[in-house]
Structure 1
């Protein structure tokens, strides 16, 4: 499925690199684990191989998909929902949990549009979701395009325009 050295994305954690595969004896049962290092937050996780399919782990996007990412970051022209902060926040959290970069772009586009339409900025939950979405995309851009964190943030900011 995956090999040591592959760059992967783990939902809600962002992009990382498979550093190793280890076999562990857990309660008398041998299990293989992927050891994944996430450079943006300096975290290493061990993911059981037999649960990778249901975990949402995927390979990072290809360079050819960067234009699609840039387009998905553009703020939507749909009207911003009024007085629906809670359900809207939950919708954004659900999108972030999918692990799909285009869903994270959608969160940024929606919240950027919402931020532009509000006089007093975003609610705290929306700000957190916006930051999470940016960090998620930054982590993937850093590995795919070998950008620094600042360069990846600039890429996002350049393409996410308020309408």
Structure 2
């Protein structure tokens, strides 16, 4: 039996596959004849609710929001030089997807940094754009939640760093 994480209703959490959500309640639900205690997590932007068994939350990687120190490291990561491997796109795409779904804010920032294109650079392919937008969305949602700002403000902060880096 995994140890039960200490989350409470109204806490913001990060679920690796979906990003930032808010625990709306802790309920008992009957599943296949067993009674389970679950966190009900609301993802407002995706209009989705997820029930996560309380004893499995840490196993699936559900975690509290990143600390301000981690957010600072992630923003510093954005300022770095893009590291693009010479591997085939399909291999790189799998690596980017894994980083995005890891729920690790710094890994997500690496994807945003590596896939960001400024106006002078070549166009992104459709799949590059999809991965970039998914990573950017996860990064800005967590940044907004940690710093208590709206997502537009967080997006603007990230964009300023990326634009300054490219200059």
For the aligned pair, the TM-score class normalised by the smaller chain equals 0.7 to 0.9
Structure 2 counterpart of 1:88, from 80, 85, 92: 92
> 1:155 and 1:119 mapped to 2: Cα distance?
21
CA deviations over 1:69-113 (Å, ceiling 9, x no partner): 2101124254x344721111111001111011111000011112x
1:5 matches 2:10: yes
Q: What are the residue-to-residue correspondences of 1:76-115 with 2, within 5 Å?
A: 76-78=81-83, 80-82=84-86, 84-112=88-116, 115=117
CA distance in 1, matches of 2:101, 2:32: 31
Match of 1:61 among 45, 63, 66: 66
Q: How many residues align?
A: 160
Higher helix share: 1
**In the superposition, relative to structure 1, how do residues 103 and 83 fare at CA in structure 2: closer, same or farther (>3 Å)?**
closer
Unpaired runs of 5+ residues, structure 2, are: none
Aligned mates of 2:122, 2:87 — CA distance in 1: 14
Alignment check: 8 A CA contact 1:108 1:133 kept: yes
Partners of 2:71 and 2:85 in 1: CA distance = 29
The structure with higher relative contact order (CA 8 Å, sep 6+) is: 1
SS at match of 2:9: coil
Query: Closer, same or farther in 2 for the Cα pair 1:32/1:83, shift >3 Å?
Result: closer
Offset at residue 51 of structure 1 (A) = 1.9
Q: 1:135 aligns with which of 137, 148, 164?
A: 137
Give the aligned CA root-mean-square deviation in angstroms: 2.1
Change (3 A) 1:119 1:157: closer
Question: Is 2:159 the partner of 1:157?
Answer: yes
Which runs of structure 1 show a deviation greater than 6 angstroms over 4 or more consecutive aligned residues?
none
Q: Deviations over 1:131-163 (max 9, x none)?
A: 000111122122211211211111111122337
Q: 1:82 to 1:52 in 2, by over 3 A?
A: same
